[in-house]
Amino acid sequence: MILQRSRPPLLETPMSVFDQSVFTPNDQFFVRWHWADIPTSVDATTFRINVHGHVVRPLSVSLTELLAMPRVQMAAVNQCSGNSRGLFQPRVPGAQWAHGAMGNAMWMGVSLRHLLDVAGVRPGALAVRFGALDQPVVAGAPDFSKSLALDHARDGEVMVAFAMNGEQLPLLNGFPVRLIVPGWFSTYWVKMLNDIEVLDKPDDGYWMAKAYKIPDTPMANVSPTDKDYPTVPINRMVPRSWITSIAGDHPVAWQPTLPIGGIAMGGDTGVSRVDLSSDGGRTWRPAQLGPDQGPYSFRRFDGVVPIRGRGAIPLMTRCTSTAGVVQPMTPNWNPGGFMRGCVETTTVTFG
Ligand SMILES: Nc1nc2c(c(=O)[nH]1)N[C@H]1C(S)=C(S)[C@@H](COP(=O)(O)O)O[C@H]1N2
Ligand SMILES: [Mo]
C-alpha cells in the first residue's frame, strides 16, 4: 500500500493491484478515515445497530439478528470523492491521492429498505442519517455522519453490508458493518455503522451542509478564479478508465503494436464501451470488454494499439457508460479536488 497518512490511516492501492482482478483484495483495499479516534477492536457480541427517529418501532439490531435477515449481494466500486486529487492543476489542499483511492468488492448484506421496513418509516420522513463508532479527536468537532434522501435510502440497492469479497470486513474498512451506496462516492459509505436515524427534516450537519459540496455545474467544473457559484452535496460517480497493464515508469523496447489492458467503471451505470488511443486522442479503436459483473463493478478491458514511432507515446483509454456519458478529454477543476473524470494518459517511452 502507498501510505498517504498514518493518523488517521490513509492507505492507497497501487495501480498494479487493479491489473490482477476486477475485484480488489481486502488486504490491498484503500483506507480512509477522517478522525484519528477509530476503534481498534469491536465486540461483535455487544455491537448493535440502532434504527430510530421518525419510525414506528425503534430497533436495536444485533449482528446475529442482522445475519438472520434476507441477504442481498452486489459488486460495487467504492471510490473516494477525492480520488486522483493529486493530479489537480492548480493543486488543491487535501490528501494527494493518485488513482488508488478506489476499489471494487463483492458486498453482501441486508438491504437498507428491509431494515427501514421492519422499523416502519412514519409519514413525513425526508432523509436517513448514518452514524458510526469513530469519534472526533477534539471536543466540539463534528462527529462523522452522512445522510441520504428517503427515496434513495429505500431504493433496495443501498445495503448494510457485513461481508466483502466473501469475508468479514477488515476493521479498517468498517468492521462489522458498513453502508454500500452503489454508484455514489464513498463519503456516503459509512463504516462501523451503528446508527440509522430517520429524519423529518433535512440534515443540516457539517458533513452534509458544509463538507463534500461540489459546484452545481457539469462535471463539478469551475475555474480557479470563479467565486459564489451554487454548490450541492457530492453524489453520483462518473465514468472513468485506467490502463493497468503498463505504468510508463520505465522505457520499453520499440514494438509495432502494444497490448494494453485495464479497468473501467460507468459511474452510476454500467460500462458500454472503452476506446483506446495511441496518438493523443486523434484516433480511437474499441477495446474488448471482460465479463460483466453488474453495473456498479469495475469492468476489465483489453486491446492492442499501434506504436507508430519511438520516443514518448501517450496511451489513452476512454469509457462510455451505458447511459451514454463519455469521459471528456479536459480535466475538471474545483477547490475540493473532487470528481476527476477525464481521459487519463499513460506516457510510455519506446527506445
Ligand atoms: N465511519 C466512517 N465512515 C467513513 C469515513 C469515516 O471517516 N468514518 N470516511 C468515508 C470516506 S470519505 C471514504 S473515501 C470511505 C473509505 O472507505 P474505505 O476505507 O473502506 O476504503 O469511507 C467513508 N466512510
Ligand atoms: Mo473520501
- d(CA 343, CA 123) in angstroms, rounded, equals 45
Nearest alpha-carbon partner for 37 in 175, 143, 145: 143
Share of the chain above pLDDT 90, in %: 97
Q: Which 3 state secondary structure label does DSSP give 8? A: coil
Cell numbers of 84, please?
486522483
Give me Rg for the CA atoms of the chain.
21
Pull the grid cell for residue 149.
Answer: 434522501
DSSP string, 217-284: SGGG---TT--S--EEE--B---EEEE-S--SSS-B---SEEEEEEEEE-SSS-EEEEEEESSTTSS-
Which single residue is written with the C-alpha cell 480557479?
224
- On whether the CB atoms of residues 71 and 144 are closer than 8 A, the answer is no
Q: Is 344 a member of any domain?
A: yes
**Enclosing domain of residue 70:** 2-211
My answer on whether 97 and 194 are in the same domain is yes
| Spatial separation of the C-alpha atoms in residues 59 and 180, rounded to whole Å | 20
The reply to whether 160 and 276 lie within a common domain is no
Which numbered atom of ligand 1 lies nearest the CA of 103?
21
Phi, psi of 114 (to 5 degrees): -60, -50
Q: Are residues 195 and 305 in the same domain?
A: no
Residues in the chain: 351
Q: Which among 13, 26, 33 is the best mutation to test ligand 1's pocket, defined by most ligand atoms within 8 Å of the CB?
A: 33
Answer whether 23 contacts ligand 1 (Cβ < 6 A): no
Cα 268 → chain centroid: 11
**In terms of Cα–Cα distance, which of 260, 344, 347 is closest to 301?**
260
Alpha-carbon distance of 13 to 21, in angstroms, equals 13
Interatomic CA distance for residues 130 and 148, integer angstroms: 8
Q: What is the pLDDT of residue 159?
A: 98
Residues 323 and 196 in one domain: no
Is there a domain that residue 86 lies in?
Answer: yes
Number of domains in the chain: 2
Domain's final residue, options 211, 230, 251 = 211
pLDDT at 28: 98
Is 190 within the bounds of a domain? yes
> Residue 104 sits in a domain of what CATH number?
3.90.420.10
**Residue 115, pLDDT above cutoff 90:** yes
Rounded to whole angstroms, the Cα distance separating 259 from 36 reads 43
Same domain, yes or no, for 49 and 8?
A: yes
CATH number at residue 276: 2.60.40.650
Q: What is the pLDDT of residue 129?
A: 98
Is the same domain home to 121 and 23? yes
- pLDDT value for 7: 87
Distance from C-alpha of 305 to C-alpha of 303, rounded to nearest angstrom: 7
Q: Give residue-wise pLDDT tens across range 239-275.
A: 999 999 999 989 999 999 999 999 999 999 999 999 9
- Please check whether residue 216 lies inside any domain of the structure: no
Query: Do residues 333 and 221 make contact, with C-beta atoms less than 8 angstroms apart?
Result: yes
Q: Is the pLDDT of residue 212 over 90?
A: yes
Residue 207 carries which DSSP code?
A: H
Q: Does residue 233 lie within any of the structural domains? A: no
For residue 320, pLDDT over 90 is answered with yes
Over the stretch 3-45, which tens digit does the pLDDT of each residue have? 999 889 999 999 999 999 999 999 999 999 999 899 999 999 9
Computed over every residue of the chain, the mean pLDDT equals: 97
Q: Is the CB of 152 under 6 A from ligand 1?
A: no
Looking from the CA of 350 toward its CB, the CA atoms found within 13 Å total: 15
The pLDDT score that the predictor gives to residue 350 is 96
* 221: in domain: no
48, 192: one domain = yes
The predicted pLDDT at position 243 comes to 98
127 and 202 in contact (C-beta within 8 Å)?
yes
Question: How far apart are the CA of 117 and the centre of ligand 2, in A?
Answer: 29
Q: Measure 243 CA to ligand 1 centroid, in angstroms.
A: 26
* Same structural domain, 105 and 20: yes
Same structural domain, 204 and 250: no
Reported as a single tens digit per residue, the pLDDT across 133-175 is 999 999 899 999 999 999 999 999 999 999 999 999 999 999 9
Per-residue pLDDT of 279-316, as tens digits, reads 999 999 999 999 999 999 999 999 999 999 999 999 99
| Arithmetic mean of pLDDT, 333-341 | 98
Considering the domain architecture, whether residues 203 and 314 belong to the same structural domain is answered as no
Neighbours of ion ligand 2 (CB under 5 A): 32, 80, 187
The residues near 213 (Cβ < 8 Å, ≥ 6 apart) are 231, 232, 233, 234, 336
CA of 280 to the centre of ligand 1 (A): 36
Shared domain for 204 and 258, answered yes or no, is no
Same structural domain, 158 and 287: no
Q: What is the mean pLDDT of residues 222-240?
A: 97
Ligand 1, atom 6: closest residue by C-alpha: 33
Cβ distance 160 to 66 under 8 Å?
yes
List the grid coordinates of 112. Answer: 437498507
Q: Return the pLDDT at 173.
A: 98
pLDDT in tens, 43-56: 999 999 999 999 99
Whether the CB of 30 sits within 6 Å of ligand 1: yes
Q: What sign has the CA pseudo-torsion 213, 219, 223, 228?
A: negative
* pLDDT, position 6: 87
Is the CB of 31 inside a 6 Å radius of any atom of ligand 1?
yes
70-89 residue pLDDT tens: 999 999 999 999 999 999 99
Question: Span 173-202, mean pLDDT?
Answer: 98
**pLDDT above 90 for 121:** yes
Q: How far apart are CA 184 and CA 237, in angstroms?
A: 5
Evaluate whether residue 247 is within a structural domain: yes
